[in-house]
Structure 1
Amino acid sequence: MARNRFDEDEELVQEFKWSHYKRVGEYVTPYKPAIGKVLIVIILANIASMLGPYFMKIAIDDVIPQKNLQLLAIITVVFLLSLFFIAWCMRYRILAITEIGQDILKDMRYSIFEHLQRLPFSYFDNRPHGKILIRVVNYINTLSDLLSNGLINLISDIISVIITLAFMFFIDVKLTLYSLILLPILFGIVMIITTKQRKAYQHLSNKQSNLNAYIHESISGIKITQSFAREKENARIFDEVSDEYRTAWMKAVKIQFLLWPGVQNISVLTTSLIYFIGIRQIGVDVSTGTLIAFIGYINNFWNPVINIGNFYNSLITATAYLERIFETMDEIPDIQNAPNAQVLPPIKGQVTFENVVFRYEEGKNILDGVSFDITPGETIALVGPTGAGKTTIINLLSRFYDVNEGSVKVDGFDVRDVTLESLRTQMGVMLQDTFVFSGTIMDNIRYGKLDATEEEIIAAAKVVRAHDFIKELKDGYNTVVEERGSTLSAGQRQLISFARALLADPKILILDEATSSIDTKTEELLQEGLQQLLKGRTSFIIAHRLSTIKNSSQIFYISEGKIAEAGTHDELIEHKGLYHYLYQSQYDLVRVS
């Protein structure tokens, strides 16, 4: 899964292994007791279903010729009772299997979602989100029938075949062997078809993933699409991607549906063969009742064989999706706890970078030998041109990425030697892309501190000047906002993020362009709250609006992966270097406007 375009097929990094079926079995294991009950019911139902042909044989060969009406009535009543029993067993099986199957799917979906939560930023940066989403929803859903009905039905059908063969051998060994004569042909057909089928469904999964990725991308960018009146062009692209999916689907199902006619035809040929042999008495000597009973057993034999063939068909289809599901689950997080990672104790907020070098994969160094030592409570502003490495510094501090060389330490602890949870729970991060989740405003502010009281939430909102606009909303703090906070302005989303960060009460606070979407008037109000937010915390602020960082303890001018200048605002202005030029340019621009 290494490509980042909707129109490029994903390369399958790891081919499917038979051991992967064992992994599916691990999800089945917790439900063995429930499955065992279903199997007992299935066995009893299969035994009951064997009574019909056997009663018919007795009736034709013995009861009717002897005109034994009393025995005929008993057989009829027992036969009817067996039908009612079979019907009850079928109802129980359907309900129980469906519940078990959905529980298994729920566990698998949880596993992949939980694993995605631990994958690093780089994983999501390099992949269309639609191609990730389809694994959690669509691909898991394709396993529904396989796990809800297929697995239990397979066991049921195998038991049915065994019981049926036992009855058949009990009645007539030669006829039974004649009934199995066409099985090798069936196995040959299955092997030919399934090889082509798996490749076809691998191709289909690619096209399905591409389509989902384009839909997700188009919905995410709908505002841009309408702004540039690009609807027709996007519809044309969608039609192409959708047509590729349709073509792959038709090819896959054409191959899949070849198996059923093959099995069905062999079943009919077998039945015809037994009629021919039984009537002509070729190598056998059977009564009419025996022949009729045997034909009934042949149907009981081939019906589960057909079902087993369909299950194998479904298994091959599901294999193409299991490959993708397990590929995601096997993605090793670049950032994870070291084997001997310790819990980071409550911190004071000292931050040290020692000769830090960082680069993305095999590219050039983004940071090249960066070193600094920040004492607790200092406010550090990071400024400089786009791409200089400002955001990289805070990403390394939060351990969203790991350094290539050097070390990042908090209170003397290397961030790679402590658990991620203990590190990040003591930090408050406001990234440039302010994210508001669907739900109430109160829930969004409470996101970083789930046990916060309503009073604490309101107090935090007041400090960052979010309270005034919140209380004017229809339902105040209980106002429900849409996904990504689309019903709020960019400035309102940032104020909510400020309140969220303050409520978490972190010792290290990171603000990445935190005031970029706030108007000047709101910013003036926010500055008062911001000073309280920064008070007593080690803070890192990335800001292009230099008026917001004049009071910082130190300002680092980052250029070409290095700290080109460092000092207070007044010191750097007096130095008349890069920061002075940047500040003067911005000041002149504001004055002209």
Structure 2
Amino acid sequence: MEKEKIAGNAYDSKLLGRLAKYIRPYKTVFWISVVLTILLAAVAPALPLLVEYTLDHYILSGKSEGLTNMLLLMFALLIAQTVVRYFHTLMTNTLGQSVIRDIRIQVFNHITNLRLKYFDNTPIGRLITRTISDLETIANIFSEGLIQIIGDLLQLVVILGVMFYTDWKLTLVVLVPMPLMIAATYIFKEAMKSAFQSVRLWVSNLNTFLQEHITGMNVIQYFAREDQEMRKFKAINAEHRNAHIRANWYFSIFFPVLEIIVAIATGLLVWYGSRQILADAISPGVVVAFIMYINMIFRPIRELIDKFNTLQMGMVSAERIFDVLDTDEFTPNEGTYKPEHVRGEITFKHVWFAYNGEKWVLKDVSFHVKPGETLALVGATGAGKSSVINILSRFYEIQKGEILLDGVDIREYDLTFLRQTIATVLQDVFLFSDTVLHNINLHNPDISYERIVDAAKKVGAYDFIMRLPGNFNYQVQERGSTLSAGQAQLISFIRALVHDPKILILDEATSSIDTETEGLIQNAIENLMDGRTSIVIAHRLSTIQKADKIIVLDKGEIKEMGTHHELLEMDGHYRKLYDLQFNSAGIG
């Protein structure tokens, strides 16, 4: 499970500075929010002052003339405050959602450009948490956090100023329990710092567990692991529940304590205020106004704690998001070379490659493929076959040696151009939850429908697509679950063909296909490979006998190289692999 720090700072000027950059396109909305915040704080003491004036000058004086006007004025003030609060809420939420929309787009774009090594070491569930849950928490910084905190603090300053101006002694009496509230607030803040971060941690762990297990559901059911995985899920879910309960438990203690403190302040006010009224030192209206002020002072303080925690959670989420954005595991794209024509000549010169450290996956690999030739890679699992194609497309960077395309180092090519030059058809075909058409053209408007139909006919997939409900507009379910393995593979062939690559890579593209479909697939492969430099990885040696060159890899080293017949005559590794598959078939 994911291990992350439990504590975080509620205020981080560096993080806030980075977040502020996303506000710039919406500075009008931001400043409207600030103005409305100031306005709400400024008019906060207006209602108690009106109540005080009405009570002293009309009700207690027995003066009815003008009383109705005062009541209407109070009602109008309440309506005005409601309207201002509505627009304030609308503006702050609009600001928050606009900011996280921009950040989410940036995060997604950033993630899609990271090298594959990053995804090898990062759980997908964690990235989902970052782009969804953590970003929603950041939105609360704007809608419920920073601006609201500023507004509450301004309201406190304004109200306290009015109270001291009205009667400083009475104000000091009301503030007697304030040290208790400050102490309770500090203790609560420290407890919630850990509790809320723990909640975020277990939300992330829960997302990671669900994503992995839903994706791997077939493995769970194949091996009857439902009960065992359920017990794991219950344990994680229990921790998630306990984290929420701890947070709510702190709330359940803190808010009753605040109510007691408010009750103490009110009791002191009534006691001292009554004595002052009897001594004719103050008017009853002042005491009533101060009772209203008490709620207006302590309510923002109560809300400040909640908003403080919102801000704290937002800061932690912002730090996590920026950790992703600060990840610089990109494939360097310093090259600018984009020739008008690529011939497809591939040269490996003394290439050494390791995924981690110096645990070499490829060791001093050298070979040459002429334009239009077919190179086949064979060898046991882990021999390094897939690594060859991964480094050719620069999904991973080599540590030593050179890889040349048409005599030019692939690092000098523009990365997008290089990858557009190469099309890869994998054994495990991935199809998106989209139409067949869009799974083929990948929403590229430059690929016409006619071109797709022509490609489908060339690879022999047109007839089965036309039998689907909606034909090319048939909605493929997630990962192509409603199509057979052969049908999904044919769609991947069409996808490769319409993008017109100069280099074609087939990574065990027929290993999961049944014998009946294999004939159709082989025909599609021949059409795909026609006129293109091709690299084929295959376990079935029958599919590569026509290759111009076959390389036998073992533990990252080239053991043999030659044509099918040349390798058979060597009576080495290839011959052993061949005999294992064909010793009873008599193929030669």
Q: Residue 90 of structure 2 aligns with which residue?
A: 95
C-alpha deviation, 1:319, in angstroms:
4.1
Structure 1 residues 407, 178: CA separation in 2 closer, same or farther (over 3 Å shift)? farther
Measure how far apart 1:262 and its partner are.
4.1
Whether the 8 Å contact between 1:49 and 1:82 is mirrored in structure 2 is no
Q: CA deviation at 1:399?
A: 0.7
Q: Map 1:151-190; keep pairs closer than 5 Å.
A: 151-190=146-185
Choose the corresponding residue for 1:20, options 5, 15, 24. 15
Please report how far the alpha carbon of residue 85 of structure 1 lies from its aligned counterpart in structure 2 after TM superposition.
Answer: 1.4
1:364 pairs with one of 359, 371, 374: 359
After TM superposition, the structure 1 stretch with the greater mean CA deviation from structure 2, 173-182 or 233-242, is 173-182
Pick the aligned partner of 2:395 from 397, 400, 422.
400
Is this contact kept in 1: 2:199–2:240, CA < 8 A? yes
Contact 2:385 2:537 in 1 (8 A): yes
Map 1:460-499 → 2, pairs under 5 A: 460-499=455-494
1:331 CA drift (Å): 2.5
Decide which of 220, 223, 241 is 1:225's aligned counterpart.
Answer: 220
Match 2:350 to one of 351, 355, 376? 355
Deviations 1:120-157 (A, max 9, x none): 22222233322332222233334454433333322332
Contact 1:463 / 1:529 at 8 angstroms: preserved in 2? yes
The 1:106/1:259 distance shift into structure 2, 3 A limit, reads farther
Cα RMSD (Å) of the superposition? 2.7
In the alignment, is the contact (CA less than 8 A) between 2:455 and 2:498 conserved in 1? Answer: yes
Give the corresponding residue for 1:430. Answer: 425
The verdict on how the C-alpha distance between 1:590 and 1:142 changes in structure 2, with shifts beyond 3 A counting, is farther
* Amino acid aligned to 2:325: M
What is the aligned counterpart of 1:342 among 308, 323, 336?
Answer: 336
DSSP 3-state at the match of 1:425: helix
1:388 aligns with 2:378: no
Q: Which amino acid in structure 1 is aligned with residue 336 of structure 2?
A: Q
CA distance in 1, matches of 2:7, 2:73: 56
**Paired residue for 1:581?**
576
- Code of the residue aligned with 1:10 in structure 2: it is K
Which whole-Å CA distance do the structure 2 matches of 1:268 and 1:237 have between them?
A: 47
Q: Which residue of 2 aligns with 1:5?
A: none
Q: 1:265 to 1:345 in 2, by over 3 A?
A: farther
Residue in structure 1 matching 2:297, options 294, 301, 308? 301
Q: Secondary structure at the match of 1:481?
A: coil
CA distance in 1 between counterparts of 2:491 and 2:423 reads 13
SS in 1 for 2:310: helix
Shift in Å at residue 12 of structure 1?
4.3
What is the rounded CA distance, in whole Å, between the counterparts of 2:216 and 2:283 in structure 1?
A: 76
In the TM superposition, 1:504-519 aligns within 5 A as: 504-519=499-514
- TM-score when scaled to structure 1? 0.90
- 8 Å contact from structure 2 (residues 144, 310) kept in 1: no
- The answer on 1:279 being equivalent to 2:271 is no
Unaligned 5+ segments in structure 2 are none
Which moved further from structure 2: 278-287 or 540-549? Answer: 278-287
Contact 1:382/1:390, CA 8 A, preserved across alignment:
yes
> How does 1:22-421 map onto structure 2 within 5 Å?
22-281=17-276, 285-338=281-334, 341-346=335-340, 347-362=342-357, 364-421=359-416
Say if 1:105 and 1:143, in contact at 8 Å, map to a contact too: yes
Superposition pairs of residues 505-584 of structure 1, within 5 angstroms: 505-584=500-579
Change in Cα spacing, 1:230 to 1:410, as seen in structure 2 (3 Å) is: same
1:273 and 1:23, CA in 2 relative to 1: closer, same or farther beyond 3 A?
A: farther
Contact 2:346 2:404 in 1 (8 A): yes
Give the whole-Å Cα distance in 2 for the aligned partners of 1:152 and 1:284. Answer: 42
Listed one character per residue, the Cα deviations across residues 364-413 of structure 1 (whole Å, up to 9, x for unaligned) are 21111112232322221111111111100110011111111222232343
- 2:6–2:194 CA contact under 8 A, matched in 1: no
Aligned residue for 1:111, secondary structure, equals: helix
Q: Is the 8 A contact 2:427 2:510 kept in 1?
A: no
Confirm or deny that 1:10 pairs with 2:3: yes
Name the CA distance, whole Å, in 2 between partners of 1:209 and 1:570: 55
Question: Structure 1 583/371 Cα, relative in aligned 2: closer, same or farther at 3 Å?
Answer: same
Q: 2:113–2:330: 8 Å Cα contact kept in structure 1?
A: no
What letter is aligned with 1:172? Answer: D
- Any idea what SS the aligned residue of 1:201 has? helix
Maintained 8 Å contact 1:394/1:510:
yes
